[in-house]
Amino acid sequence: MNSPVFPIVSDPSDLLAQANQCLLTPCGLDVSHLQTILGRIMTRRADYADLYFQYARFESWSLDEGMVKAGSFNIDQGVGVRALCGEKSALAYSDDITLSALADAAASVRAIGRAGQDAAEIGGQGLAASLLARSSPPPLYAADDPLASLPAEAKVRLLERLESFARAADPRVRQVMASLAGEWKVVLVAASDGRLAADVRPLVRVSLNVIVEEDGRREQGSAGGGGRLDYAYFSDARLQDYAGKAVRQAVTNLEARPAPAGAMDVVLGPGWPGILLHEAVGHGLEGDFNRKGSSAFAGRIGERVAAPGVTVIDNGSLPNRRGSLSIDDEGQPTRETTLIEDGILKRYLQDGLNARLTGAEPTGNGRRESFARLPLPRMTNTYMLAGKREPEEIIRSVKKGIYAANFGGGQVDITSGKFVFSMSEAYLIEDGKKTAPIKGATLIGNGPEALTRIALIGNDLALDSGVGTCGKEGQSIPVGVGLPTLRLNGVTVGGTSL
């Protein structure tokens, strides 16, 4: 698996220089060519146009039954050419980065422009601005290629060590499945408003699933993590932590009793349970759903939508986090965006299109899976700020309820806000104490209503370990979630016993 070698850039922090030497120079292109292509699109009186260049290398390794049985490596390269006119979007793309391919794509998308004479024939209105690299904050992560950070043999040994840690954690472990994945992506964005920006994005992830067995009963547990780093992140101490968490979850489920059902108080643990916030609330705060009026939060800016003390943040500017980006996929710097402050809805997440159509400010949340897809307003790292309560105090406040330590899958209806989530690790709370583990519990509710049922907020905000992936309109992107310990009053729990 030999990777292409690109020219050395004297300053690794100069992301635009790296992107030029990776994406444009090998193809005989420079910024003047991009200016020409954008100008051709804008002469048809489009509102906006951009070019999104991408080069990505991806690899994955998987272990099962004590052996690394599968590995894959692929390269994805291309350019997406987009034009916007009113609410309409046109996209043409090519995996051939040449001037002729760009010209053909520009000819296709410019048809979306307003009918009539070209702008050049009526005085030049709508021509593209001169491309200019604008000042941006320092990169949030190193530009190093994680795929090159370990030789192939060391990647295999990493997975073997992870398996040995899991098997050593408990004699009841029967099967271990582990995977290692890495990605290195270079993007360059050139836009008709003059924006010229680049990013170099590393991403790594380890995933672990274990199956334990006792007296004929089998249960499973999972763990993992990663971020915008290289493989050195996965130290033995971190791998042992993943193994311990996965085995503990599986063994706990061996001892679990059927979950009760009905309306009761539920305490959510910190960290990954923030996936509930992401799915049940975060998607409803994305700009496209609200512009179209299809979200339960549409038209409610300035209204109380959550209990006092609830502040929800989306922040794409956290260093090295899985959901972070130095720039979004429209070239906008990412930032911290307060969506809900002390229970009051403040704003929505915006990409360029929806911001322009609603008169809002872009929030750096325009994201796309690849050059072959249109950008959409998407979350980055979404979490609720911590409160002042001790986690133990929150548990003691519940006479009878459930403690949800971890969640599995779930379903959400954006229009109604209704959700159903399964708990992968949960316990009864009896007389203020966490007691027996339970299985088969689901949390059922409505996102906006659930926000109003938050009674107590812990002081232990934690972000997830770096495993989140979000799907929307067929596009999957890496995201982060986070939550402090929370108490929800009187929510519906689906279970197997009353």
Structure confidence at residue 44 (pLDDT): 81
| Cβ proximity of 274 and 481 under 8 Å | yes
Is the pLDDT assigned to residue 388 strictly greater than 50?
Answer: yes
Is the pLDDT assigned to residue 112 strictly greater than 50?
Answer: yes
Is the pLDDT assigned to residue 36 strictly greater than 60?
Answer: yes
Mean pLDDT of 105-123: 69
Query: For residue 288, which of 358, 345, 392 has the smallest C-alpha distance?
Result: 358
pTM for the model stands at: 0.93
Structure confidence at residue 308 (pLDDT): 97
Read off the amino acid at residue 155.
Answer: K
Is the pLDDT assigned to residue 226 strictly greater than 60?
Answer: yes
| Lowest mean pLDDT across 105-114, 160-169, 336-345 | 105-114
330: its two tokens: 């429209």
* pLDDT band at 127; cut points 50, 70, 90: low
Is the pLDDT assigned to residue 377 strictly greater than 60?
Answer: yes
pLDDT > 90 in the chain, percent: 86
Is the pLDDT assigned to residue 299 strictly greater than 70?
Answer: yes
| Lowest mean pLDDT across 7-16, 79-88, 98-107 | 7-16
Is the pLDDT assigned to residue 128 strictly greater than 80?
Answer: no
Structure confidence at residue 65 (pLDDT): 87
Query: For residue 327, which of 318, 317, 319, 337 has the smallest C-alpha distance?
Result: 317
Where residue 44 falls (left for φ over 0; alpha for ψ -120 to 50; beta otherwise) is: alpha
Mean pLDDT of 424-443: 96
Q: What is the mean pLDDT of the chain?
A: 92
Beta-strand relationship, 480-483 and 381-384 = parallel
Task: Indicate if the alpha-carbon torsion angle 281, 285, 289, 292 is positive or negative.
Answer: positive
Structure confidence at residue 209 (pLDDT): 97
Complete DSSP assignment for 315-346 = ETTSTT-TT--SB-TTSPBP-EEEEEETTEE-
Half-sphere exposure of 351 (CA within 13 A, CB side): 21
Summarize pLDDT for 254-283 with one digit per residue, the tens. 999 999 999 999 999 999 999 999 988 999
Structure confidence at residue 412 (pLDDT): 84
Tokens 């001790």 identify what position?
Answer: 390
In the three-class reduction of DSSP (H, G, I as helix; E, B as strand; rest coil), residue 492 is classed as strand
pLDDT > 70 in the chain, percent: 94
